[in-house]
Amino acid sequence: MKKLLAISFLMMFVFITTGIIFAQNSYTFKNANHSWMESPKAGQLYDLCSTSNKKSAIKNIKIRIFKVNPEEYEWNGSLVFFDQNGNKLIAGAKKENSPATLTGTNFGTSHVVVIADIDKDGYTEVMIQEIQSDVRPQTFRVLKWKEGKLYRTKTGKLIKDSDGIFKWTKTDNDNVTWLSNIKEGTDGKLYSDFIGYDGQGYTSGLVEITPVEGGYKVVKTLKSNKM
């Protein structure tokens, strides 16, 4: 019970603290009104998110619900991508295992968290957080829009290694530090909140990051709180 209370408190603390930190910065990513998640309808197309970055090849993302199980509060929806002029670029397949499918359950929802060139190669990426219901390293899925096609380029977690680099990996140990939410600033820089556990307590905060081979390195720590 004490462990559950500690985890619940940490999640609340990270949510509040991160909200305060992010409120002090300007970010290009914007969520739409997600009230539709309370009672999604199969076949309906809902607004999901957008970016204010005028250089982004993808401006808006909507979601078309193709499966609903109201008794279990479960749904699946395929992402539909639009450019700056409102033209549809591509729509994800209506399949549960499609890279461009989001899922909602009674214990969590996968969701888009950033539309940006997060690896600085000149192409727009869409980063998706996978479903997570407790405090553990976040799993991401990254899609890249390139030459008229959408590719899945990454699936994994961003875990800090011994050199201080947050590397893409599919596994993790108990005592690690990880990136949990990457954002693009209106200044063109990348930011992320992080969470760490050293076996005795948790640390959370906000860092400025930049892409390097295999992951991201910290440019500057903007906020750090030890629990």
Domain ranges of the chain: 2-226
Instruction: Say what the pLDDT of residue 20 is.
Output: 43
Taking the CA atoms of 82, 88, 94 and 95 in sequence, report the sign of the dihedral they define.
negative
Mean pLDDT (the chain) is 90
Work out the pLDDT band at 135, boundaries 50, 70, 90.
confident
How many Å apart are CA 111 and CA 14, to the nearest integer?
18
Q: Is the predicted pLDDT of residue 148 greater than 60, yes or no?
A: yes
Residue 2 pLDDT > 70, yes or no?
Answer: no
pLDDT, mean of residues 156-161: 96
Would you say residue 142 has pLDDT above 90?
yes
Q: Model's pTM, two decimal places?
A: 0.86
**pLDDT for 207-225, tens place per residue?**
999 999 999 999 999 999 9
Q: Which residue has the higher pLDDT, 23 or 206?
A: 206
Q: What is the pLDDT of residues 24-72, one digit of tens each?
A: 459 999 999 999 999 999 999 999 999 999 999 999 999 999 999 999 9
pLDDT at residue 25 in the model: 58
136 half-sphere exposure, CB direction, 13 A CA radius: 12
